[in-house]
Amino acid sequence: MEQILVYMTFPEEKTATRIGRALLEQRLVACVNILPRVESMYWWEDEIQHETEVAALAKTDSALFEPLKACVLGLHPYEVPCIVAVALDQGHTPFLQWIDEQTRDRSQK
């Protein structure tokens, strides 16, 4: 099992909470930490945009990234949402086991 930290951004907290809850209900993540305000600057249609967004960090197993992504894409209002993941290099073992227990029904399908 290899756990990951998935980083995503959303237009506002309501959307982040709705999608976070859907991921939890489908056992695709063990937990989500929503950062309620980030200031985002990015290129879009050849102009630098500056918008207030919301970010989120979700903890899950790397085997669930594809179904997680499909679930987010089905609910996210953006055309190309940020859904990226970094590998957890070390971790408190009981917490890593808890991630696996909370996503077990999914990750072993």
Report the interface residues with a copy of itself, using CB under 8 A: 3-5, 7, 9, 13, 17, 20-21, 24-25, 30-43, 48, 50, 53, 55, 57, 59, 62, 65, 69, 73, 80-92, 94-96, 98, 102
Q: How far is the CB of 77 from a copy of itself (least distance, A)?
A: 15
Amino acid present at 98: W
Q: In the complex, what is the shortest distance from the CB of residue 88 to a copy of itself, in angstroms, rounded to a whole number?
A: 5
Give the nearer residue to a copy of itself in terms of CB position, either 25 or 109.
Answer: 25
As measured in angstroms, the least distance from the Cβ of 109 to a copy of itself is 18
Say how far apart CA 13 and CA 106 lie, in whole Å. 26
Residue 54 Cβ vs a copy of itself, minimum distance, rounded to whole Å: 9
Phi and psi at residue 11, to the nearest 5°: -70, -35
And the tokens for 13?
A: 């907290």
Nearest to 73 by CA among 31, 38, 5, 22: 22
Considering the complex, state which of residue 94 and residue 109 has its C-beta at the smaller distance from a copy of itself: 94
Return the number of the residue (39 or 109) whose C-beta is nearest a copy of itself.
39
- Cα(36)–Cα(26) distance, integer angstroms: 23
